[in-house]
Structure 1
Amino acid sequence: MKSYLFKNASELVTPKGTALKKGEEMRELTVIPNGCVITEGNRIKAVGGPEILQGLDEAEYIVIDCTGKTIMPGLVDSHTHFIFGGYRAEEFNWRLNGESYISIMERGGGIVASTKATRATSLDEFLEVGRKRLRSFANFGVTTVEGKSGYGLDKETELRQLEAMARLNQEDWIRIVPTYMGPHEIPAEFKGRPDDYIDFCLNEVLPEVKERGLATFCDIFTEKGVFNIEQSRKFLTAAREAGFGIRMHADELFAGFGGAELAGELKVTSADHLLKISEEGIKAMRDNNVCGTLLPLTAFSIKADYAPARKMVDMGMGVALATDLNPGSCYSESIPLLIALSTIYMGLRMEEVVTALTLNGAAALGLAEEKGSLEAGKLADIAVFDVPNHQFLTYHFGVNECVYTMSEGREVYRKQDIF
């Protein structure tokens, strides 16, 4: 594997550490003018200013001259559903014409509407569209992406979604962290029988997911009309006992449901959405070191109130940010729009956004020891942006300034005519 030298950056900016940053810690960034990074194989060898170049034979490296640009850790998109079949553009326009996300779900739209198309999608088709979407993630500076199943809702399709991710992970793309999310919705075959469907997921699907090594995490949609607290506790506890990490969709649509409190009780790795989180839920997650993964693109798409990010951080929680790319409530992987919404509408400082999209995103996937910051020994995940400092990423809002992406020592994106 090749070794690289990144030098002359206007600014190198990174959090540091191997664990979730909480509260005020999220503002603690190392900023190095004229920053440099040296990689060796798939690891970072050194990070610093020009002093780390003394005695170095640059002829032995592929040199990336970052003059006028900003170097950051590769971004971590820690919540997506990027393997699916079909689209729901018509449904999106129903919402624009006044229908609520909840009413569309009640009339058979939402997640169930994607099930038929996903079941009809072949493995080869999943691979083809998966490569296209991974390329798009990389173009935004993303080096690690989580991907969930959950649009098949039957054994065969759920396994096929996860198999697609496993095969893509063997190719030279960005890292995929696969999540089994059978309990994403109650399929028609189990209508009115959510307890039976949970048993089906646990007894029929999960053992094969484990045997084939197809998932790192399990996830469940804990919400009114989907899976209640007891059903969620049962599924997540069993998944943990089977050796999986556990995550939750929680407190997205209804206040007082108690998803965040359950997340704290079970000490899940991450609870996501959290638009309707209570103060007790914030405290439960904070006190149990649960990452809150916030998805502002989804709130924007469904015209919902944003998660109370400023309150969460001020109360000492650690938060990550992710796109939630999916076919229904958020058909977007736009990191620039995510940054704009996080700062302008959610009240996060740009320093906090950097941490949320890097180290805390890695923590939400159990990868903070190897990813999420520019430090010697960590995997060489690097993104270069054509801006003089990280503040420009919200100032020049909605514009993709990423010009180079490296994932685990592999060059996965280079903007033409820049280097």
Structure 2
Amino acid sequence: MDLLIENARLVTMQNGEQGYLPTPLARVGIQSGKIVAISTCANGEDSQQVEALLSAKQYPQTIDLQGKMMMPGLIDSHTHLIYAGNRANEFEMRLNGVPYQDIAKQGGGILSTVNATRAATQEQLVELALPRLDGLLASGVTSIEVKSGYGLTRQDEIKMLRAAKALEQERKVKITTTLLAAHALPPEYNDRSDDYITHVCETIIPLVAEEKLATSVDVFCESIGFNLAQTQRVFEAAKQHGLNVKGHTEQLSNLGGTALTAQYNGLSADHIEYLDEAGVIALSKSATIATLLPGAFYFLRESQLPPIELLRKHQVPMAIATDINPGTSPFADLTLMMNMACTLFRLTPQEALRGVTQHAAQALGYGDSRGVIAVGFDADFSIWDIEHPADLSYQIGAKRLLGRIVNGDYVSHKGL
């Protein structure tokens, strides 16, 4: 339904400092899910074309925000939202001094999630994901990337991707899917990692591309994951089948995965705690976004900080995401990640907000349609009862979200 929004203080997140500052009271016209006109007191509302588009008579629905703040819908650009099983017991065991190796021997760790996910039906995976999804939506999220990676067979990876896509039928949200079959080595391929990568490249990727179940392919390029040569094989296969690439890179060591991701024009390189200046320069020469995942850094009690100053020096855009997963980042609140990025990584609140709007959209390949408020972009907003954009990074837990607009459809979270 077409919609007219009145009396909104807009935080457009367009380039520059001005995009971070709330506008005077504005009117926004939405038709067919797109922004068709924006008018504020600042521009004098002197354009007849703008006024014609904003004529209330053309809009079957009008919402008066009464001076509340509206900004782009928040975007969580890195999640593992679909999985089965619960690893809270492992969390408790670790805090009681049980080594991870012993937990793994008892059937814990990532393989416990793999076994539980394989045993679950697609419908069960959807039901299990909904509470986590609702947590993200309550923090202002309108767009979410969801990875596979806990199936590790063709059948189960496909099941995960289909479950992720089914979430759009359950909630007002945009879901972007990513194949992460190269997440861990499944037990069936123990000591045969090259054979598994062949299976991913020759069997799983072609089917995912044919059935249009994902737009990107990701790889965990790490000493406990897959090496650089194996990562390159996956990237080659993805490109051959018309899929974008992304990388879990430099989380635990510096293998050069970020530079490789940039070489293949990847959408994003994620984690990057151990990234060096050569890797940052590689990012700066590409359109690849650096994605920070402070939840995993916090939960694992890491000490190696991502190279924030180098990223700033070389003007590499930074996205922020939850990395929500059962083992290393069990957090379903993107504003909490903004706070962590500021307190742990020393980002500014403006950098944090860009990291979950403009730069997060770029990390998912739709920087020309989401992440900022501008004519021609998707009508995708979050509406807040706050005084300043920095409030989103500053205070956690208070119920400040009033509503979301997804593809032009309004969803109330608190009422206006």
Distance 2:315 2:98 in 1: 36
- Residue 398 to residue 275, structure 1, CA distance change in 2 (3 Å): farther
Counterpart mapping for 1:19-418 below 5 A: 29=20, 31-50=22-41, 52=45, 56-58=54-56, 60-97=59-96, 109-170=108-169, 173-254=172-253, 256-305=254-303, 306-411=305-410, 413-416=411-414, 418=415
Residue by residue, what CA displacement relative to the aligned partner does 1:357-410 show, whole Å, maximum 9, x if unpaired?
A: 111111111111111111111111010111012022223245452221111112
Contact preservation (8 Å) 2:245, 2:261: no
From the superposition, tell whether residues 61 and 135 of structure 1 become closer, same or farther in structure 2 (CA, over 3 Å): farther
Query: For the residues of structure 2 that align with 1:389 and 1:170, how far apart are their CA atoms?
Result: 33
Worse overlay, 398-407 or 227-236: 398-407
The change in CA–CA distance for 1:324 and 1:62 in structure 2 (over 3 A counts) is same
2: distance between equivalents of 1:311 and 1:118? 39
Does the CA contact (< 8 Å) of 2:11 and 2:19 recur in 1?
no
- Contact 1:382–1:406 (CA<8 Å) still a contact in 2? yes
CA contact (8 A) 2:142 2:380 kept: yes
Does the Cα contact within 8 Å between 1:165 and 1:176 map onto a contact in 2? Answer: yes
User: Is the contact made by 1:336 and 1:399 (CA closer than 8 Å) also made in structure 2?
Assistant: no
* Structure with more relative contact order (C-alpha pairs < 8 Å, separation 6 or more): 1
Q: Kindly provide the CA deviation profile for residues 19-45 of structure 1, in whole angstroms up to 9, marking residues without a partner as x.
A: xxxxxx689636412233221221112
TM-score of the pair, normalised by structure 2:
0.91
Structure 2 counterpart of 1:304, one-letter code: E
Residue 95 of structure 1: how far off its partner (Å): 3.7
C-alpha contact (below 8 Å) 1:152/1:158 kept by paired residues: yes
1:233 partner letter: Q
Residues 144, 406 of structure 1: alpha-carbon distance in 2 compared, 3 angstrom cutoff? same
TM-aligned CA deviation for residue 196 of structure 1: 0.6
Measure how far apart 1:108 and its partner are.
Answer: 6.1
Residue deviations 1:218-239 (CA, integer Å, cap 9, x gap): 0010000210111101111111
User: How far apart are 1:104 and its partner, in Å?
Assistant: 6.0
1:181 aligned counterpart, secondary structure? strand
TM-score, reference length from structure 1: 0.90
Post-superposition Cα deviations, 1:254-299, rounded to whole Å, max 9, x if no partner, equal 2x32222222222211110111111111111112221011111111
Aligned CA RMSD, in angstroms, stands at 2.4
5+ residue gaps in structure 2? none
How many residues are matched? Answer: 407
Distance 2:313 2:398 in 1: 29
Judged with a 3 Å threshold, the aligned counterparts in structure 2 of structure 1 residues 270 and 165 are, in CA distance, closer, same or farther, namely same
Distance 2:88 2:132 in 1: 17
Q: Secondary structure at the match of 2:117?
A: helix
Q: CA deviation at 1:106?
A: 8.6
**Are the counterparts in 1 of residues 22 and 69 from structure 2 also a CA contact under 8 Å?**
no
What percent identity do the matched residue pairs reach? 32
Letter in 2 for 1:6: I
Q: Which structure 1 segments of 5+ residues have no match?
A: 18-24
Q: Distance in 2 between matches of 1:317 and 1:117?
A: 38
Partners of 1:191 and 1:81 in 2: how far apart? 23
